[in-house]
Amino acid sequence: MEHRPLGRSGLLIAPLVFGGNVFGWTVDEPSAFRLLDRFVDSGLNAIDTADVYSRWVPGNQGGESETIIGNWLKRSPARRDRIVLITKVGAAPGADGKGLSAKSIAAGVEASLKRLRTERIDLYLSHRPDAATPIEETLGAYDALIRAGKVRAVGGSNSTAAGLREALDTAAAKRLPRYEVEQPEYNLYEQDRFEGPLRDLCIARGVGVIVYYSLASGFLSGKYRSKADLKGARSGGVEKYLNQRGLRILGALDAVARAHGAKPAEVALAWLIAREGVTAPIASATNADQVDSLVRATQLELSPQEIASLTAASD
């Protein structure tokens, strides 16, 4: 399976990343172990999580996803060197009320390492920009972690083009670690947050791109086609896609899926994998069949005409 570089970090990932946001939410620990085993055994190797997953679930505090992944790694320690482990900091204010201050990052990484039961995080991301903290302070904190061997590479998430440019320029000017990866929202329905200046910057500066909401909260799976379908824990964010444009996109996905004997979700992910500037999409799974579907998406080759038809449907 082809592996792609994450910026200039030296890290290589297969063209699809497992989204660990479902762990401790719609997937319990025993099920997560089985899914992760199946995912890694298929040849895929990157797992994405964050210190705040899944605190939105009643009774959770955040860190549940990292804890489950850490317990999986403890059970199968040989798998640690086979995976690229990605987590994030800064979505919630730290002890000093800031998300990406040196103090918040220093405390956050120790908590994540403990939950993940590992000595290093392969890719550590700023979960969202923190206007209260100078970027030089944030990059300086990351520099200390890299020098200590606790983190291999760093990146950003939810950045604007201007914010990412500032981070890259500051890193170069101050000889600090640069953001090797950006993690924006991007899918067949939602394209404006990545395409344009941000994508151009990532391509020009050699920044890897791992995109989230790859299936638009499950809408692009084709599971939701009317308001009557809005059931289940993850359906709350789907209603906004149920409009003429969304249904047109589903129609295009259906047509390409039929031509390949594939599922609409596999086509939507294959479209992302083929997009210029995208290193890999993130997608989650809650059962073995869905993991197998993720693998098939990485093997699906769309023709230029099929890619064009999907892109046109989303205009």
The residues annotated as belonging to the active site are 53
Cα separation, 131 vs 100, whole angstroms: 9
- Residue 148: how many other CB atoms lie within 10 Å: 10
Half-sphere exposure of 288 (CA within 13 A, CB side): 7
Q: Dihedral sign for Cα 185, 285, 293, 210, please.
A: positive
Cα separation, 311 vs 295, whole angstroms: 23
